[in-house]
Structure 1
């Protein structure tokens, strides 16, 4: 592990401690849902500008076998911990523009320091773009947190369900690939196989999230039947991807893992769906 890793680990630990403290003090289930929602919002933004837009590159030094997967680890630290934690602080404590601007300035300063220490490389992206994006992201976070107090129905309920389930599915999908190299996708979009795999994974987990949300919203059918159907759908997709050479599997446990964890997530989503429908 390189010296870069200690900076990322330190920032991640601080974010995790703050996140835990605020969640405990919030004493509201909606705070957990809020973190999931804002994490997925960060994931979607990162998919566009980082994965498909090649805007910047993280250099945490965790993984030696693949520079791109190593960069993904840095992206996870940012989008799963740092940014959602700041959003939670702002939302729970109802910080106004002064507090929001302080948070933006602090994140901008960290980004500047990361660039100077060569922990993070900017391509066409600029720190100013981060600041502009956060001036929209953080106020939006306050709106989301307050909206979660009230019952959600219809399309809003479906959108919130998607934003809650997608970061769980996306993280469970890509992390084993980065750590164990158990599978790879080959759409041929980029010269780096890890970049190809990451890009295709981003599309894959979004589609699977929509399937699970659809199953959750269906009123007919027992939960175990729909869970089995989700597993069978993923099994069929896996066979299709293998047949078309879009997918290569390198570990015996891979098909079992990818077919079984989404139905489990679906079963966890049902109580989330009920709580969003009640609000509070």
Structure 2
């Protein structure tokens, strides 16, 4: 019976993924500025990740059960990624691009309220202290933030552009660390024995620290000296985390992490050109 339940669990998530992917594709076909829409999507995802960090990683408000991974912590986080990087953000982008009114925002909020309760009934999702009512009441505010963010992007707000740049780097960093953890390349924790729950508490903080420095330094300059300073800072963070026993491994781990850091710096430079392409053209000319 349990095996049948686990084999069933993934299908409700797949159905939602198909529905919301279609919604996102429709939104992108409608928009006249796909660059700003992509930045909006990334910022909506980042906002969802912040929310999940506190409600799921820290305080265990609810549990996702897509039954994709045998490791319960990986499975839980993968469910969170599906929800906060796809289902909810895709919907928010759809609402913003089509400029849907408050009645429709509340209707979509009720849709997620219904889905959440259905998932509980199907036993593919479990509440601890969280309640579906909280979802229903908070989502319209999330949709409103999405609307305002897009308006500021359209006006070219320097502050919103920078945080959009930061958000794209952050979600890239978090997602890459998740896949590195699956492969056994990185593990965070406290002391000698690192649990996966500890990993998913410390890992996002590690990503935030590295992203803040990377985004700030790259926005100011993109020359070789800047790349070198960012790399040294990342290496110093690894050294500190290993010395404090917050990262599993010895000092050789620093060398093994270098390809990841080079990759993130390279990707960040590409994101900079994407977000600030007008400014980059001016500097090049």
Q: CA deviation at 1:157?
A: 4.0
Report the Cα offset of residue 182 of structure 1.
Answer: 2.1
Shift of 1:275: 4.8
Which residue is 2:50 aligned to?
Answer: 44
Matched, 1:146 2:151: yes
The Cα RMSD (Å) is 2.4
Q: For structure 1, list consecutive stretches of 5 or more residues without a partner in the other structure.
A: none
Identify the match of residue 11 of structure 2 among 6, 11, 25.
6
TM-score of the pair, normalised by structure 1: 0.88
TM-score by length of 2: 0.87
Q: What is the total number of aligned residue pairs between the two structures?
A: 271
Unaligned stretches of 5+ residues in structure 2: 1-5, 281-285
The 1:130/1:211 distance shift into structure 2, 3 A limit, reads same
Specify which of 173, 190, 200 is matched with residue 177 of structure 2: 173
Q: Deviations over 1:110-130 (max 9, x none)?
A: 111111111111000000001
Map 1:1-280 to 2 at 5 A. Answer: 2-28=7-33, 29-64=35-70, 66-153=71-158, 155-177=159-181, 179-187=182-190, 193-219=195-221, 222-249=222-249, 255-275=257-277
Asked if the contact 1:216/1:270 (under 8 Å) is kept, the reply is: yes
Distance 1:37 1:170 in 2: 13
Matches of 1:214 and 1:43, distance apart in 2 = 21
Moved over 4 A (4+): 249-254, 275-278
Task: For residue 93 of structure 1, report the CA deviation from its aligned partner.
Answer: 0.3
The structure showing larger relative contact order (alpha-carbon pairs under 8 Å, at least 6 residues apart) is 1
Q: Deviations over 1:129-170 (max 9, x none)?
A: 0111102111121111111111222x4443333223221221
Task: Judge which range, 156-165 or 247-256, deviates more.
Answer: 247-256
